């Protein structure tokens, strides 16, 4: 018999999310679209996630389980992409969950418009209260050309870099050698490359994904490594635009995005120093972060080298930000 080829491969990286995983998998079960495979990459979980995954697989068809040593979110996604057989790929973070119409709406949106990428809106779901906040797009449901979509993406208002609220042609990854780099904010460092290879990007303002906010989510638990990677992701985008010779076209949008990152980074640095009750090195962290961001948006910037995953053009030594632990010498 010929091997089953699903329309969509839904990739779920899992690492120690036993408190959220059952809800995530229940939302997969409720999908109205049925022609898909579920690829669960168990990235070295040490809690009860493994048994939850096994129970799900035993009661559902077209589930592929991949167990690997802990390598991080990026490598777990990459493992799933390499295993995927579907024409399209979607991602679900294992602490989030989906609308029952997530796959069906995005698949229809992509195929109807012959788009390589389809995007939906999302809700912020607050774990403690169960409260949902709809995150409205500033544009209506629309189909964008590659050029338009990249501009919207860089603005980070109408379209966002998130990996999880999109449906992608699998060929965008495998035929172009696009993989998620091993860093935080890996989607910020990757999505613009996928958009560059897409013919069209179709968008719906319907909210089909639920992003869970909880105490251990990345936004809620910033570290110096995360802050540094956030800054680095800005440099990766600038390097890419320069490399493709289109920075001048997107300059205004990029500079505005850089200012927004600067505000977010400054806030995160302040919050983390405050949480540690230690402001030693606070001003130095602000200064270094400011210099790095200014460098990436400078009109005098000149990126060198071909490696946009781990750039060699960073002039200011990382880590830019070092958060001191609480001490008596404040």
65/155 same-domain check: yes
Say if 158 falls within a structural domain.
yes
72/30 same-domain check: yes
Say if 70 falls within a structural domain.
yes
Q: Give residue-wise pLDDT tens across range 30-77.
A: 999 999 999 999 999 999 999 999 999 999 989 999 999 999 999 999
pLDDT greater than 60 at residue 308: no
Say if 1 falls within a structural domain.
no
Q: Which of 196, 213, 230 is the last residue of a domain?
A: 213
Q: Give residue-wise pLDDT tens across range 79-100.
A: 999 999 999 999 999 999 999 9
295/245 same-domain check: yes
Residue with tokens 């964008």: 144
CA 155, CA 254: separation in Å to the nearest integer?
7
245/195 same-domain check: no
Q: How many percent of the chain have pLDDT more than 70?
A: 87
Which structure tokens are listed for 216?
Answer: 């251990």
229/156 same-domain check: no
Say if 2 falls within a structural domain.
no
201/105 same-domain check: yes
pLDDT greater than 80 at residue 291: yes
pLDDT at 2: 58
83/138 same-domain check: yes
pLDDT at 127: 78
What are the φ/ψ torsions at residue 38 (nearest 5 degrees)?
-110, 120
Closest CA to 319 of 222, 232, 219: 232
Q: Give residue-wise pLDDT tens across range 141-187.
A: 999 999 999 999 999 988 999 999 999 999 999 999 999 999 999 99
CA 283, CA 82: separation in Å to the nearest integer?
44
Give the mean model confidence (pLDDT) for residues 245-273. Answer: 93
Say if 46 falls within a structural domain.
yes
CB proximity list for 194: less than 8 A, separation 6 or greater: 117, 168, 172, 173, 178
SS (H, E, C) the chain: CCCCCCCEEEEEEECCCHHHHHHHHHHHHCCCCCCEEEEEEEECCCCCHHHHHHHHHHCCCCEEEEEECCCCHHHHHHHHHHHCCCCEEEECCCCCEECCCHHHHHHHHHHHCCCCEEEEEEEEEECCCCEEEEECCCCCCEEEEHHHHHHHHHHCCCCCCCCCCEEEEHHHHHCCCCCCCCCCCCCCCCHHHHHHHCCEEEEEEEEEEEEEECCCCCCCCCCHHHHHHHHHHHHHHHHHHHHCCCHHHHHHHHHHHHHHHHHHHHHHHHHHHHHCCCCCCHHHHHHHHHHHHHHHHCCCCCCCCCCCCCCCCCCCCCCCCCCCCCCCCC
160/190 same-domain check: yes
Q: What's the number of domains the chain is made of?
A: 2
pLDDT at 222: 73
70/111 same-domain check: yes
Q: Which of 213, 248, 282 is the last residue of a domain?
A: 213
Q: Which of 168, 195, 213 is the last residue of a domain?
A: 213
Mean pLDDT of the chain: 87
Say if 200 falls within a structural domain.
yes
Q: Give residue-wise pLDDT tens across range 103-141.
A: 999 999 999 999 999 999 999 988 777 778 887 776 779
140/280 same-domain check: no
pLDDT greater than 50 at residue 312: no
pLDDT at 326: 42
Task: Say which CATH number the domain at 143 has.
Answer: 3.90.550.10
Question: Which residues constitute the domain of residue 70?
Answer: 8-213
What are the φ/ψ torsions at residue 311 (nearest 5 degrees)?
-60, 145
pLDDT at 327: 36
306/236 same-domain check: yes
186/70 same-domain check: yes
């Amino acid at each position: 018999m010929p091997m089953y080829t699903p329309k969509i491969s839904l990739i779920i990286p899992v690492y120690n999310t036993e408190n959220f995983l059952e809800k995530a998998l229940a939302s997969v079960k409720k999908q109205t679209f049925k022609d898909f495979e579920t690829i669960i990459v168990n990235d070295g979980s040490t809690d009860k996630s493994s048994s939850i995954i096994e129970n799900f697989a035993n009661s559902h068809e077209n589930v592929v389980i991949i167990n690997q040593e802990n390598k991080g979110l990026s490598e777990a996604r990459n493992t799933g992409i390499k295993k995927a057989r579907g024409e399209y790929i979607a991602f679900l973070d294992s602490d989030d969950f989906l609308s029952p119409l997530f796959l069906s709406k995005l698949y229809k949106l992509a195929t109807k418009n012959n788009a390589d990428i389809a995007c939906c809106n999302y809700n912020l779901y607050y774990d403690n209260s169960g409260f949902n906040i709809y995150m409205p797009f500033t544009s209506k449901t629309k189909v964008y050309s590659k050029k338009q979509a990249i501009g919207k993406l860089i603005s980070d208002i109408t379209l966002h870099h998130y990996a999880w609220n999109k449906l992608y042609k699998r060929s965008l990854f495998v035929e172009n050698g696009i993989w998620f780099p091993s860093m935080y904010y890996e989607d910020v460092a990757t999505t613009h490359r996928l958009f560059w290879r897409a013919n069209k990007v179709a968008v719906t303002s319907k909210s089909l994904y639920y992003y869970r906010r909880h105490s251990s989510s990345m936004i809620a638990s910033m570290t110096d490594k995360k802050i540094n990677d956030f800054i680095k992701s800005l440099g990766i985008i600038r390097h890419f635009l320069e490399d493709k010779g289109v920075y001048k076209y997107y300059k205004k949008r990029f500079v505005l995005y850089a200012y927004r990152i600067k505000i977010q980074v400054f806030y995160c640095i302040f919050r983390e120093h405050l949480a540690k009750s230690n402001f030693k090195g606070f001003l130095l962290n602000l200064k270094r972060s400011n210099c790095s961001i200014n460098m990436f948006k400078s009109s005098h910037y000149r990126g060198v080298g071909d490696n946009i995953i781990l750039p060699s053009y960073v002039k200011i030594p990382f880590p830019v930000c070092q958060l001191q632990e609480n001490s008596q010498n404040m």
